[in-house]
Structure 1
Amino acid sequence: MRAIALLAAVLIFSPGPALAEENELSEVLLEFQRLGTEQPAAALELLDRTLGQGEPDLAGESDPESLAELYRLRTSLRRSKGDYPLAMADAQRLGLLAHQLGDIGMEAQSLFLQGTVEAEQGRYGAAMEHFHAARGLLETADHPGQLARIYNAIGVTHNFAEHSARAREYFELALASARQAEDDFLIATYTGNLATVIAATEGPEAALPMQREVYAAGERLGDASMQIVAMANICNLLVDSGRLEEADRTCPEAMAEVDRLEGSRVRAGIRMAVGKLRAKQGQLEQALEVYEEGLDIARGIVPTVHRDLLEVLAQLHERMDHPQAALERYRELISLHDENLERERQGMVEELEIRYQIERSAAELQLLRLDADLQATQIRLRNALVMGLAFLLLIAIAATGGALHAHRIQSRLRKELAARNDELEQAVSRISELARRDPLTGLLNRRALEELAEQELARKRREETPLCLVLADIDLFKPINDRHGHSVGDEVLKSLAQRLRELFRASDLIARWGGEEFLCLLPNTSLEEAVAAIDRFRADLKEHPIQTGIGPLEITLTFGLAVVEDDLRTAILTADQAMYQGKAAGRDRLVVSSGPDQDHHG
């Protein structure tokens, strides 16, 4: 179903028809509209001649709104071609123009465009920051059309990340805002995007009438791009619903039309659909050829489509009995997976570092407050002693009593300060511990496990003891989230974390490694002992299903097991490859990596 989202996602970023007015730039806008989707290269060349490559200058410009429109159009074209740095630069130039004009709507549009560029590259966190910043500007203003675009952008980003329930919520908000704006183009666009989520959650048959409605709207509005993308989505839905004869009539025409567009995502996406059609028809060589074409288009430009095409190509090679080619595609998929994990890891490390700096600043502030309290108390104490000396001149006994009283005060303050320092040290210790833990499961996080793993590696070398590493991934976790909601998914993660703590030893290091992935480092454990431990865990999980708020759920995991030699990263990669082989072999199993040969435990 993911291919549907990939095809329809292009709609979110369609800028809509530009409306040229009577002004100095009207001829450029009219010429751009004439070129449209038919000649995108010529349209981009026209914009380059008009705008140049420098920063926008309002000096002597009588029509800044049309100038902003041109920057917006060029951003969209460059993003569609995969020229992401240039597209980001244009989106930021639009923001500079908005700042010069003091235009909130234009500033929100700049943020929106920057978010779309980030989302196209798979940087969903950065995209969401831009989208929500734009949303904050618009929700207090009367801009229902622009707000609809922001809601839709957030929905598409959730869809890319496979959060179908959240995506549907934002698509429905986008559709409501588009209707409030009475914008037929946006209504059709967001109907198509909502259809992608409905296809994923309710099935392709439920989404087909909606995509046909989008196609009809494109015809009515005279928007060829909308019609072409709707046709591509209809092709994909026909294949998924098993209507192969109808798909055979629709898909080739859709692919020919899509190739007129510049968008890498939709061009690669239609090839996924056509490849799937040929594979279902048993035309495996043709399917392979079309998939490879899609991979060439998506590689390095559209990360999500790149990943999905590698996966289907590996499966197709297996089906065609090409084990070496399948292995090469799986290796490429694992490498891409590792790159994504590394980006996530760097982001998490940066987030933890920022959190640590904030917490350290808070601790330092508390220390400063304690120091100020102590100084104030010392001043009061000195004043009391001076007063005591004055009274000593009058009454020696009273002065002596005052000095004794001052001594008692000083002793009490020292004890209070020592107690507060102890509390502060405990708080700092607690903060440090929290920074090492995953907030949902309470397990170690990546940073903490990597630090402790170095210690275990040093001990292994010193004492020459065995060390094993296990990667475990929950099978079919996304459908659990989609069907029952993220709260149930969180219950599953927390329950599995508790089972891992209970069934493994206290000396074993257990971490939440990714979304639904766990890593266990087993010191002083042979390969046979590690297999036995995992088998005990799997048996316990089978005998005692996970208890959730909706009742018990039967959960399975796929495990990859490797021996750690001298390098932790190599062991992780080896275990990851073993785990992926377990997924490809049908899930719910342990695959042991012991060099070239792999041992599968069902």
Structure 2
Amino acid sequence: MTSTVAPPIAEQIAAVCSQVLLTPEATLAALRADCARARGEQGGVGLAALIYGAALLQAGDGVGSLEALGDADADARATGDDALRLQVMVSRSKALTITGDLQGALECFRDGMELSRALGDRHTEGVLLLGLGFFHGQLEESVPYEEYTRLALARFRELGDPQRVALCLNNIAGSISRRKRYAEALACYEEALPIALGLGWRRGQALILAGHGGVLLHQGHIDEGKRMYLASNAILEELGDVFQQTRHLNLLGRALLEGGRPAEALPCLEAAVRHAEARRFEIELSLALELVSRAHEALGDAPSALRALRRHVEEGAIAGNRRTEEVVRKLKLEHRLSIAKREAQQQESRNDELAAVNAALTEAMRQHEALQDELERLARTDPLTGLLNRRRMDELGDREIERCQRSSAPLAVMLADVDHFKRINDRYGHAVGDEVLVEMAARLKGNVRGGDLVARWGGEEFCVLLVDTDDEGARLAAERVRRAIAQRPFETSAGPLKVTLSLGVVALDDGPARLSGLLRQADAALYTAKHRGRDQYYLAPTG
């Protein structure tokens, strides 16, 4: 393995992240310009993209951070720079965690641990152990949260890193307070706070104050705990750490709600929703919306509670939670597997008990494999219709376009939209609307060829990629689909409904193209079909 990254790379990242908290817009603009310059230089964009991605993560832009870190990872792989790739993994694992891609985060943590050991980088291994503990904390798994963080604490004590020692103590206190070990938690906070004060580490002081406040809330000292949380968030606002602010607002709101003070909880939770929406913190947004609904319900405001819950549904948070629950189940299965293996090794002499453990292990492995298959299916498909999802269509679409361009084969794209779908939802309810979407998917799938790709693009929009299809073939396919929808009513629980479809169609021309560009043309063609009266298709001109 090779490395061209200077040893102080982690310190460079830490310095830039501190600057982001002071002057976010100017610092990010300068780093963005550095990336643009690096792309034009022979040395590559890797280091500049890594620092920019880490800075975006510090600013709370997890999605933008992942894009920049993707560029850095590609450059590191291309140049064989494993030390750079390891630092990318550290930042990428954090970005995946805060954006809600828990399976991706777990894989990134594990790959990073393996690479850090291969490189003999004990400090970065400690950073990843600390991050892995926080990851399990996000899943409310307090035992592995404590275990991984204690491993990190031992490493940083050995290496003489006081700031991370304080951070580990803070996180351990958080994990054990969830199991009501409040005296131990307070001892950790009391050891950590003087370290943070001595270092002048403001962010650490904020985290420790919030943790201490959380213990007070659990002990029933609501007013004092609330005061410490708000003091912590004042520091975090000064530092620009929106992610931790959002987490603390959710924690405080939940504590106030459970303490019978919903009127005080509601402003905290609504602020958490605003932060999470602005920065796309999917897990925190899902939690905040649920708690807002509960707060309105506790206040006797049923319409507002229903609106909050409906927003939760409309933004896809419930579907995301289902996938998250599947990931959580998978992680818990993995944890049970490791326990079963350890017990089997310790009880080799006890044949009867060992046989029972082995049987349980076999069943757990079978469930694990079945869950893995289901997770892979969920990652590719839309949960309502069973069609490809948007992400999978993006991947397969560009691949198919490249194949057609290499072989000079024709290809066309259709973007379809259910006419007046909002009227169906408003008149008959969302359950009937879902029935229409499921039947629409079945008819679309049944009226194209087996090799064509069909995806739910979002809401009532569908995308069809017609392989080996020229202009005339695309016309025929669009008309066939239109007739299949319009000529026979949709059978629903509200009775038969007449449903029509508008389609925008575009064919691949001789120039270079990507799916995103073809879809923009198809969307414009769809608009034309809608404008001309709906229940028809429009083929975008080529050339």
Which TM-score applies when normalising by structure 2?
0.54
Alignment-derived partner of residue 173 in structure 2: 195
Identity across matched positions, percent? 18
Following superposition of structure 1 onto structure 2, how do residues 428-577 of structure 1 map, counting pairs within 5 Å?
Answer: 439=367, 567=435
Q: Give, in whole Å, the separation in 1 of the partners of 2:281 and 2:18.
A: 28
Alignment-derived partner of residue 84 in structure 2: 106
Work out which structure has the larger RCO, using CA pairs closer than 8 Å and 6 or more positions apart in sequence: 1
Q: What's the CA shift for 1:325?
A: 1.5
Q: Give, in whole Å, the separation in 2 of the partners of 1:126 and 1:281.
A: 36
The amino acid across from 2:319 in the alignment is E
- Decide whether aligned partners of structure 1 residues 33 and 298 sit closer, same or farther in structure 2, where only a CA change above 3 A counts: closer
Q: Does 1:80 align with 2:80?
A: no
Alignment-derived partner of residue 55 in structure 1: 39
Q: Does 1:243 align with 2:221?
A: yes
The amino acid across from 2:295 in the alignment is L
**Aligned pair partner of 1:129 in 102, 107, 110:** 107
Alignment-derived partner of residue 296 in structure 2: 317
- 3-state secondary structure, aligned to 1:105: helix
- Decide whether aligned partners of structure 1 residues 158 and 441 sit closer, same or farther in structure 2, where only a CA change above 3 A counts: same
Alignment-derived partner of residue 250 in structure 2: 272
Following superposition of structure 1 onto structure 2, how do residues 303-452 of structure 1 map, counting pairs within 5 Å?
Answer: 303-333=282-312, 336-340=316-320, 343=323, 439=367
- Decide whether aligned partners of structure 1 residues 53 and 213 sit closer, same or farther in structure 2, where only a CA change above 3 A counts: farther
Conserved? CA contact 1:76–1:87, under 8 Å? yes
Alignment-derived partner of residue 144 in structure 2: 166
Conserved? CA contact 1:156–1:167, under 8 Å? yes
Return the index of the structure with the highest Cα Rg: 1
Q: What's the CA shift for 1:297?
A: 0.8
Q: Does 1:37 align with 2:16?
A: no
Q: Give, in whole Å, the separation in 2 of the partners of 1:330 and 1:184.
A: 44
Runs of 5+ in structure 1 lacking a partner? Answer: 1-15, 21-27, 349-433, 451-562, 571-593, 596-602
- 3-state secondary structure, aligned to 1:250: helix
Q: Give, in whole Å, the separation in 2 of the partners of 1:244 and 1:50.
A: 48
- Decide whether aligned partners of structure 1 residues 205 and 314 sit closer, same or farther in structure 2, where only a CA change above 3 A counts: farther
Q: Give, in whole Å, the separation in 1 of the partners of 2:202 and 2:118.
A: 34
- Decide whether aligned partners of structure 1 residues 76 and 215 sit closer, same or farther in structure 2, where only a CA change above 3 A counts: farther
Query: Which string of whole-angstrom CA distances, capped at 9 and with x for unpartnered residues, describes residues 284-332 of structure 1?
Result: 4343222111111113722222222222222221221111212222334
Q: Give, in whole Å, the separation in 2 of the partners of 1:128 and 1:251.
A: 29
Q: Give, in whole Å, the separation in 2 of the partners of 1:440 and 1:34.
A: 42
Alignment-derived partner of residue 302 in structure 1: 281
- Decide whether aligned partners of structure 1 residues 90 and 278 sit closer, same or farther in structure 2, where only a CA change above 3 A counts: same
The amino acid across from 1:264 in the alignment is V
- Decide whether aligned partners of structure 1 residues 282 and 56 sit closer, same or farther in structure 2, where only a CA change above 3 A counts: farther
Query: Which string of whole-angstrom CA distances, capped at 9 and with x for unpartnered residues, describes residues 441-477 of structure 1?
Result: 999x979x99xxxxxxxxxxxxxxxxxxxxxxxxxxx
Q: What's the CA shift for 1:160?
A: 1.7
Q: What's the CA shift for 1:245?
A: 4.0
The amino acid across from 2:192 in the alignment is V
Q: What's the CA shift for 1:341?
A: 5.4
Alignment-derived partner of residue 148 in structure 1: 126
Conserved? CA contact 2:109–2:128, under 8 Å? yes
Runs of 5+ in structure 2 lacking a partner? Answer: 1-7, 329-361, 379-430, 439-492, 495-543
- Decide whether aligned partners of structure 1 residues 109 and 18 sit closer, same or farther in structure 2, where only a CA change above 3 A counts: closer
Q: Give, in whole Å, the separation in 2 of the partners of 1:342 and 1:29.
A: 36
Query: Which string of whole-angstrom CA distances, capped at 9 and with x for unpartnered residues, describes residues 52-107 of structure 1?
Result: 37538464x9xx9xx93x65443233123343343123323443554576543322
The amino acid across from 1:147 in the alignment is E
The amino acid across from 2:206 in the alignment is I
Q: Does 1:139 align with 2:139?
A: no
**Aligned pair partner of 1:229 in 200, 207, 217:** 207
Q: What's the CA shift for 1:162?
A: 2.7
Q: What's the CA shift for 1:258?
A: 1.7
Q: Does 1:216 align with 2:194?
A: yes
Q: Give, in whole Å, the separation in 1 of the partners of 2:312 and 2:181.
A: 27
Conserved? CA contact 1:144–1:180, under 8 Å? no
Conserved? CA contact 1:345–1:446, under 8 Å? no
The amino acid across from 2:293 in the alignment is A
Q: Give, in whole Å, the separation in 2 of the partners of 1:186 and 1:338.
A: 36
- 3-state secondary structure, aligned to 2:179: helix
Q: Give, in whole Å, the separation in 2 of the partners of 1:51 and 1:196.
A: 38
- Decide whether aligned partners of structure 1 residues 33 and 310 sit closer, same or farther in structure 2, where only a CA change above 3 A counts: closer
Q: Give, in whole Å, the separation in 1 of the partners of 2:256 and 2:177.
A: 21
- Decide whether aligned partners of structure 1 residues 153 and 263 sit closer, same or farther in structure 2, where only a CA change above 3 A counts: same
Q: How big is the alpha-carbon RMSD for the aligned residues of Structure 1 and Structure 2?
A: 4.5
- Decide whether aligned partners of structure 1 residues 41 and 274 sit closer, same or farther in structure 2, where only a CA change above 3 A counts: farther
- Decide whether aligned partners of structure 1 residues 83 and 252 sit closer, same or farther in structure 2, where only a CA change above 3 A counts: closer
Q: What's the CA shift for 1:163?
A: 2.6
The amino acid across from 2:144 in the alignment is R
Query: Which string of whole-angstrom CA distances, capped at 9 and with x for unpartnered residues, describes residues 496-539 of structure 1?
Result: xxxxxxxxxxxxxxxxxxxxxxxxxxxxxxxxxxxxxxxxxxxx
Q: Does 1:288 align with 2:263?
A: no
The amino acid across from 1:123 in the alignment is D
Alignment-derived partner of residue 206 in structure 1: 184
Alignment-derived partner of residue 478 in structure 2: none
Q: What's the CA shift for 1:566?
A: 9.9
- 3-state secondary structure, aligned to 2:148: helix
Q: What's the CA shift for 1:177?
A: 2.0
Alignment-derived partner of residue 260 in structure 1: 238
The amino acid across from 2:88 in the alignment is S
Q: Give, in whole Å, the separation in 2 of the partners of 1:446 and 1:19.
A: 41
- 3-state secondary structure, aligned to 2:151: helix
Q: Give, in whole Å, the separation in 1 of the partners of 2:214 and 2:326.
A: 36
Q: Give, in whole Å, the separation in 2 of the partners of 1:154 and 1:114.
A: 12
Q: What's the CA shift for 1:148?
A: 0.5
Q: Does 1:90 align with 2:68?
A: yes
Q: What's the CA shift for 1:266?
A: 1.0
- 3-state secondary structure, aligned to 2:39: coil
- Decide whether aligned partners of structure 1 residues 439 and 271 sit closer, same or farther in structure 2, where only a CA change above 3 A counts: closer
The amino acid across from 2:267 in the alignment is E
- Decide whether aligned partners of structure 1 residues 187 and 58 sit closer, same or farther in structure 2, where only a CA change above 3 A counts: farther
The amino acid across from 1:317 in the alignment is H
Conserved? CA contact 2:24–2:59, under 8 Å? no
Conserved? CA contact 1:269–1:305, under 8 Å? yes
Conserved? CA contact 1:56–1:97, under 8 Å? no
- Decide whether aligned partners of structure 1 residues 569 and 343 sit closer, same or farther in structure 2, where only a CA change above 3 A counts: farther
Q: What's the CA shift for 1:19?
A: 4.6
- 3-state secondary structure, aligned to 1:119: helix
